[in-house]
Amino acid sequence: MKDHDIDLEWIKKKYLKEKLSTVAIAKLRNVSPSVIESRLTRAGVRLRSCSEAASIRRRKSKYPQLNDVSFLRQKYEVEKLSSNEIAKEIGCSAPVVLKTFKKHGIKARTGSQAAKIAQPKISEKNTNPKLKDKEWLYQKYIIEKKSLKIIAEEIGLYQDAISKALKNNDIPIRDQSEAGKNAPHPPSQYSELNDKKWLIQKYITKGLGIRKIAKLVGAKTSNSVRQALIKFNIPVRNISDGLTHNREEDGFVLDLPTVEGGLLGDASLGIYNKRSDISNAYFHKTNKFYDHVEYVAKILFPKKWKDRIRENKAKYTYKGITTIKTYYNVRSLSYHILTPLRQKWYPASNNFIKLIPRDLELTPEHLLHWFMDDGCSYIRTRRKNKPIIIQFCTDCFTKDDQEFLQGQLLEKFGIKSWLHKNKKRYRIELLQSQADKFYDIIGPCPVPSFEYKWK
């Protein structure tokens, strides 16, 4: 066939409107692609670049109907079919249909618009007598434990119709967790996970975690193991229990004055998820002096204190000069007994920010750890008697919290103090006459690094 025998307008329509390639057009007329290119060039049509052609190829779907805008508009806008119904007709998924709508400039319906269109369809089928048969519904949903979807498919209705019928007949609907347990579980592709006795022996008797069991059977993810446990009604450990199950304990001993005295200073009670009801708290403390961290570790971990201390290094840059400083920290594992303590010191009502619990009762040990952590002392050399001034860096606490601590100092030990204003915050400062009394209460310095505080 000669090139002048092919209708130019037909070629332009295929190339410009339908976005066919020159190769595709050439196949339709059984000619060489160069013939089509020649006709288009002579007609003054700019040929697409390689990138433009590739972009068009990417936009074209492997489902022919999705490339036909008129077909999609007829189904979606005229016949009012949903994206799910169109997807079933074409043989693809609903998200693919919605993505194609966007590509072709077809505005997808909102949830409320879709509900209005779907409602007449539901209403027409809601006349099914089985929706008013309480015994039938109870048998299917409660006794046979069938899902809403399966019941709906049996009688050709939507799930919403079944859900509404259950409510009208006072049959309680299962929550998501219960529904998941009742859902049918197909056999696992890993043979061991189909053996209940094997699972009990590994998970319950030996106490292995689901990740270790997944490695044993060669599963890609631990979810395969979890689903197998659910299928056989084997209770699955929650995150908190999983972290603490079969772990090697750190020998932590709760000493309240040490922990709470540290919390008055730089120590903290951390938690994996502060909003969770099952996460447990852990104790954490950092200091640049090893002997201070060692002193605390020996109290809280009398048998394994060396294992709980970690050395860390950090870079600090000041005026262009970078130095590396060493610091040490001690941390416990998470424990149930620390969680109530964290809830008092970091309550949800205070947005999980540290405050002073009003049931705190200070002891000499509290004061010792508080002073080592956040206390300081200096001598007023301009005064004749050169008094010693003791101050606590309580800037992070509110004025009310600090006034409570002042009351504790006065009530428990007869120590008088005042609030020293530091910019917009306050610090507790003992009266200069109280230094000797304070040192008598806390006793001698327990670590060499802090002897400078004992004037």
pLDDT band at 95 (very low <50, low <70, confident <90, very high): confident
| Burial zone of 184 (CB within 10 Å; 0-12 exposed, 13-18 middle, 19+ buried) | exposed
Mean of pLDDT values over 434-449 = 96
Does the structure show a pLDDT above 70 at 160? yes
Let me know whether 162 and 196 are in one domain: no
Let me know whether 178 and 198 are in one domain: no
Give the whole-number percent of the chain exceeding pLDDT 90.
41
- Report yes or no on 430 lying in a domain: yes
- Flag whether the pTM goes above 0.75: no
Let me know whether 14 and 87 are in one domain: no
Let me know whether 335 and 256 are in one domain: yes
Q: What is the pLDDT of residue 434?
A: 95
- Report yes or no on 364 lying in a domain: yes
- Report yes or no on 360 lying in a domain: yes
Let me know whether 443 and 361 are in one domain: yes
Let me know whether 259 and 329 are in one domain: yes
With a CB cutoff of 8 Å and minimum separation 6, the contacts of 320 are none
Q: Structural domain of residue 46, as residue ranges?
A: 3-60
Let me know whether 360 and 454 are in one domain: yes
Query: In whole angstroms, what is the distance from residue 358 CA to residue 405 CA?
Result: 9
Q: Encode pLDDT of 259-282 as tens digits.
A: 999 999 999 999 988 888 788 999
| Burial zone of 143 (CB within 10 Å; 0-12 exposed, 13-18 middle, 19+ buried) | exposed
Place of tokens 């692609």: 33
Q: What average pLDDT is seen over the chain?
A: 86
- Report yes or no on 164 lying in a domain: yes
With a CB cutoff of 8 Å and minimum separation 6, the contacts of 272 are 239, 243, 279, 280, 334
More confident: 30 or 185: 30
CB-CB contact of 36 with 12 (8 Å): no
- Buried b / exposed e along 86-114 (16+ C-beta atoms within 10 A): bbeebebeeebbbebbeeeeeeebeeeee
Let me know whether 270 and 314 are in one domain: yes
pLDDT band at 126 (very low <50, low <70, confident <90, very high): low
Query: In whole angstroms, what is the distance from residue 391 CA to residue 369 CA?
Result: 14
Query: Can you read off the two tokens belonging to residue 380?
Result: 């007023």
More confident: 444 or 110: 444
More confident: 252 or 149: 252
pLDDT band at 235 (very low <50, low <70, confident <90, very high): confident
| Count of domains observed in the chain | 6
Mean of pLDDT values over 63-92 = 82
Q: What is the pLDDT of residue 122?
A: 47
